[in-house]
């Protein structure tokens, strides 16, 4: 019996529990609000609103994934989607809008391949969440 008592007293795992309070086990929403996450996402949504349509007018016939971009845009504008889910979509749409990226959009034939890759990754990540944002009968 005495041996068990010595073992428990010498156990360093339970000796100093004060350090556990310093660990951040995450409250995503609280942490993001402290960092201004929701407001920052809203500013970027406004940027997408201003710049997406001119970019689509210019490139809509050159790319085959314009309907996917439109579905992502509708997802981003949905008031019932959590802001941190929108942040992922906003990042992908900004990547599409900005002409300076991994492969510049001015490069013939290959300029939109990296954009396609980013949009495809978003579609794969969001999966069935996006189905209702496509025009009726498009992705059935």
Closest CA to 46 of 110, 2, 90, 6: 90
Closest CA to 48 of 98, 84, 82: 98
- What local confidence, expressed as pLDDT, does residue 7 receive? 47
- What local confidence, expressed as pLDDT, does residue 86 receive? 93
Mark the ranges of the chain whose per-residue pLDDT is less than 50: 7-8, 11, 13-14, 20, 140
- C-alpha radius of gyration, the chain, whole number: 23
- What local confidence, expressed as pLDDT, does residue 31 receive? 56
Classify residue 62 by its DSSP letter.
Answer: T
The pLDDT tens digits for 114-124 are 888 999 999 99
- What local confidence, expressed as pLDDT, does residue 120 receive? 94
Classify residue 111 by its DSSP letter.
Answer: T
- What local confidence, expressed as pLDDT, does residue 94 receive? 92
Structure tokens at 56: 């689509």
């Amino acid at each position: 019996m005495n041996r068990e008592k010595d073992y428990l007293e010498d156990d360093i795992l339970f000796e100093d529990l004060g350090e556990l309070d310093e660990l951040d086990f995450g409250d995503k929403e609280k942490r993001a609000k402290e960092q201004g996450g929701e407001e920052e996402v809203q500013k970027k949504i406004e940027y997408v609103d201003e710049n997406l349509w001119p970019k689509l007018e210019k490139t809509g016939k050159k790319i085959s994934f314009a309907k996917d971009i439109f579905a992502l845009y509708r997802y981003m504008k949905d008031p019932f989607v959590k802001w941190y889910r929108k942040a992922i979509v906003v990042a992908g749409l900004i990547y599409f809008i900005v002409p300076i990226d991994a492969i510049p959009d001015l490069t013939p034939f290959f300029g939109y391949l990296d954009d396609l890759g980013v949009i495809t990754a978003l579609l794969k990540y969001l999966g069935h969440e996006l189905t209702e944002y496509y025009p009726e009968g498009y992705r059935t």
